[in-house]
Amino acid sequence: MKKLIVISALTFGAIILGTNNVQAQNTTATTTVNITLNDVISIDAGSTAIGNTVDFNYATAADYNSDQTITKANSLKVTSTKNFNVKVKAGGANFINGTNLIPVNVLTIKAATAAGTMGGTKSAVVLSATDQTLVSNAPLGSALTLNLDYTIPAAKSSSSDILGKPAGTYTQTVTYTATAL
């Protein structure tokens, strides 16, 4: 009987010791996160220069004899991952109404007094058919706004550039280009 007890005790001990092995569990996990960047420059939706119009109306003698300025808020909204320049040009040398022409240099474009959130060096540009720098070395940023003043000075509206032209609407496109530095 002693033999049976000893064998039972050894079997019981082997079972307990054999099943008492605890498996280790993971307590940490590691994941790799990648951020892939690309250079971006964009004139964003919400820019009033996209598909909008600037309308000058000369209806009275006073209109021809005074500066006319039209301010457009959020004319340009630019997102850029690098510093950038903004250039402007007309789609041709003249505002056109059929065969009648007004030279584009009657119009000056410049940053408004409350220019918006876009930094950089801003210049007044007398419009022409060649690219001219409106903003130089603007700092990078997201949704940077530029409010613009479109001005026809009295010196132009009271000159033969505009006076004596047939009545009607004269049209030309203006193109803005943002370029990363």
Total structural domains in the chain?
A: 1
Tell me if 148 is assigned to some domain.
yes
155 three-class SS: helix
Residue 89, domain member (yes or no): yes
Is 111 domain-assigned? yes
Give the DSSP letter of residue 74. E
> Residue 18: is its pLDDT beyond 70?
no
Does the structure show a pLDDT above 70 at 19? Answer: no
pLDDT in tens, 50-100: 999 999 999 999 999 999 999 999 999 999 999 999 999 999 999 999 999
Partners of residue 102 on adjacent β-strands: 95
Q: What is the CATH number of the domain that holds 156?
A: 2.60.40
Residue 165 lies in a domain: yes
Which structural domain range is residue 46 located in?
41-180
| pLDDT bracket for residue 29 (50, 70, 90) | confident
Q: CA 40, CA 20: separation in Å to the nearest integer? A: 61
In a domain, 34, yes or no: no
Q: Is residue 16 part of a domain?
A: no
Q: Between 56 and 1, whose confidence is greater? A: 56
Specify the pLDDT at position 15.
Answer: 57
Longest dimension (CA), the chain: 134
User: According to the model, what pLDDT value does residue 28 have?
Assistant: 87
The pLDDT of 162-168, averaged and rounded, is 95
Contact 109, 90 (CB under 8 A): no
> HSE (CB half, 13 Å, CA atoms) of 37?
5
pLDDT at 7 over 80: no
The pLDDT tens digits for 119-154 are 999 999 999 999 999 999 999 999 999 999 999 999
pTM: 0.82
Query: Region 94-108: what's the mean pLDDT?
Result: 97
Inside any domain, residue 63: yes
**Confidence class for position 11, pLDDT limits 50, 70, 90:** low
Q: Is residue 126 part of a domain?
A: yes
